[in-house]
Structure formats: structure tokens, C-alpha cells
A and B are shown apart, each in its own frame.
Chain A
């Protein structure tokens, strides 16, 4: 195996994420240049990991802006549930009114029927 072929594999195997082929390992074992390159990749990974604890100070106003957005979302949510509640009340009212009208109609029809029967009798 040539150094160029091995060099392509080094970024894949440096963190142990992918298993290196035996031919790659054998080459690295016997090649000082590839060993040096692997060491440099390890240094890079170590350096990158240190950034995790390097916390930046948010731009001024970031927290306020986030909380304002959340407030707006919360208000929209409350408004939606209020409207949903009202909608339910409207639907319920309409249903009750329809039922009442139906019942009244049925009573009127029943009375008419009784009157007709009395006249016929």
C-alpha cells in the first residue's frame, strides 16, 4: 500500500470510529511519515474537543429576545385555546338551539295531530 492511499484513510480511523483494514495498519506500523500524520490527526481531535468547554458570551439581548419569542408563542397558544373553547361553546349553543327548535316543532306537530283527531271524532 502507498502512503497516498493510507493518507485517505487516516481521518476515518483516527478516532476509532471505523476499523482500519489490516493492510493500512501494517503500512502505518512501518511508515514514519504516516505515523507522524496520524499523530497530527490525534492532536487535531484533542484540540477540537477542548472547544466544548470554551463557552462564548451571548450577544447582548440574546436571552431577552429568546424569552420574548417564547412569551409570544405562549400567548398565541393561549389565544388558540381560548378560541377553541369559544368555538366549542358556539357549537354547543347551536346544537342546543337546534335541539330545542326540533323539540318545539315536534310538540307543535303532535298538538296539530291531536286536534285533527278530535275534530274527526
Chain B
């Protein structure tokens, strides 16, 4: 059931703290889900979503209301997740290369997508992408954000965002929906 948040946004913009609390309560699970998909773990997702709401609270007066509150929050969450990932990769010195190959745990032909396990396979495949590629494909193909918004929140050019998206789609397609021949090539490579 979609909740109309417009009145709450208007009240919150006028300084009603209880209205903002209700907005948080209504959207936390969605933002947490996005943060989890972008960061890949619960602890980071919690930090990201916390930071995102603080930023939203501080910037609420700037929210013009021409987009939905949830879309605005998606952008803020994506931006926070990106900042978080950049910061942690700097700390860990293990930033993944954008062109990194998928981990060699691709499911074999017996694990072809079925309606029963499709979502878990999909989530696994997304987690196997580099954070940079994952962010773009999640924001575009799951959350339907425009290229321009994705580029702005990730601090990259629109062209770079598109290139990452197309590479990510290709990797996901090869992993989840391989063509005949692609499986055997992969199996051969593993056997060597």
C-alpha cells in the first residue's frame, strides 16, 4: 500500500519534527534495502541510512517537492553509500577494479534461474559485481533513477555511468542468463 507522504513532507518542511519522524518510519525499510544492496552488508547499510536521514533532515528545506520524497531519498542514500564505500575502500586499500572479473562461483547449469530461487540468485550475482558497477545497475535497473541523477550522486560523468551500466548488465546476463556455449566455455576455463 503506497502511503501518500506529501502532507508529511509539507508539515516537516514547516518544522514539524513529528512529521519528519513519520516520514522516516514510513521509508526506513526501503532506504535500508537500497543501502544494503549498494554496500552489501547490514552494518554499512545501517550507517548509510542513518547518515542519509540526517542529510535529508538538514536539507529538507531545499527539497522542492517536484520529485517524490522516496526518489529524493534514493538519491541521498545512493550518495551516502558512495561516500561510505569510497571511504572504506581507502581505509582498507582494497578498492576493486572496475574491470575485475566475476568471482568464480558462478552457478553451473543445474542452478539455472527458476522462479523459486530467482531473487536470491539475482542478489548473489549483484553482490559479485564491483561496488561501482553494482551501484549503477541497482540505481538504474532496480530503482529506475535517470542516468543524469545516477551520475550526479556517484560523482561521475553520465557517459561513465552508462559504460558501467552496460558492463554490469553484460556480466549479469552472462552469469544468470548464459547463452549456449557460454556455460561450456566457463566450465572449460574452470577445469583447466
Could you tell me which A residues sit within 8 Å of B by CB distance? 11-12, 14-15, 17, 33, 36-37, 40-41, 43-45, 47-52, 54-59, 61-63, 65-67, 69-70, 73-74
Give A74 to B147 CA distance when docked, in angstroms. Answer: 34
With A54-B119, A57-B29, A58-B29 as contacts: A40 and B177 at CB distance below 8 Å:
yes
Q: Is the CB of B28 within 8 A of A45?
A: no
List the 5 shortest-distance A-B pairs measured between CB atoms, nearest first. Answer: A40-B177, A11-B169, A58-B32, A11-B166, A48-B141
Chain A residues near B54 (CB-CB < 8 A): 69-70, 73
* CB under 8 Å from chain A, chain B span 118-162: 118-119, 122-123, 137, 141-144, 147, 162
Which label, helix, strand, loop or mixed, suits the secondary structure of the B interface? helix
Contacts of A48 in B (CB 8 A): 122, 137, 141-142, 172
The reply to whether A11 and B24 contact each other, CB–CB distance below 8 Å, is no
B96 adjacent to chain A (CB < 8 Å) = no
- A65 touching B50, Cβ below 8 Å: yes
Query: B21 contacts the other chain (Cβ, under 8 Å)?
Result: yes
Once bound together, how far apart are the Cα atoms of A45 and B122, in whole Å? 11
Q: Which residues of the partner chain B approach A15 to less than 8 Å between Cβ atoms? A: 141
Interface residues, chain B, with chain A CB atoms under 8 Å away? 17, 20-21, 24-25, 28-30, 32-33, 36-37, 42-43, 45-46, 49-51, 53-54, 57-58, 113, 118-119, 122-123, 137, 141-144, 147, 162, 165-167, 169-170, 172-173, 176-179
Q: State the Cβ distance, B8 to closest chain A Cβ, in Å.
A: 14
CB contacts (< 8 Å) of A37 on chain B: these are: 173, 179
Q: How far is the CA of A14 from the CA of B170 in the complex (A)?
A: 11
Least CB distance, B138 to chain A, in whole angstroms? 8
Q: Tell me the bound Cα distance from A61 to B122 in angstroms.
A: 27
Interface of A is mostly: helix
Are B29 and A51 in contact (CB-based, < 8 A)? no
Contact of A56 with B173 at beta-carbon distance under 8 Å, contacts A47-B122, A63-B24, A66-B50 already known: no
Q: Shortest distance in angstroms between A40's beta carbon and chain B's nearest beta carbon?
A: 4
Pick the contact of A70 from B20, B147, B176 — CB < 8 Å?
B20
The minimal Cβ–Cβ distance linking B25 to chain A, given in whole angstroms, is 7
Shortest CB–CB separation between residue A43 and chain B, in angstroms? 5
Q: Is the CB of A47 within 8 A of B17?
A: no
Chain A residues near B21: list those with CB within 8 A. Answer: 67, 70
Assuming A11-B167, A48-B122, what are 4 further A-B pairs, CB within 8 angstroms?
A: A40-B179, A48-B142, A62-B46, A66-B50
Query: What chain A residues lie within 8 Å of B167 (beta carbons)?
Result: 11
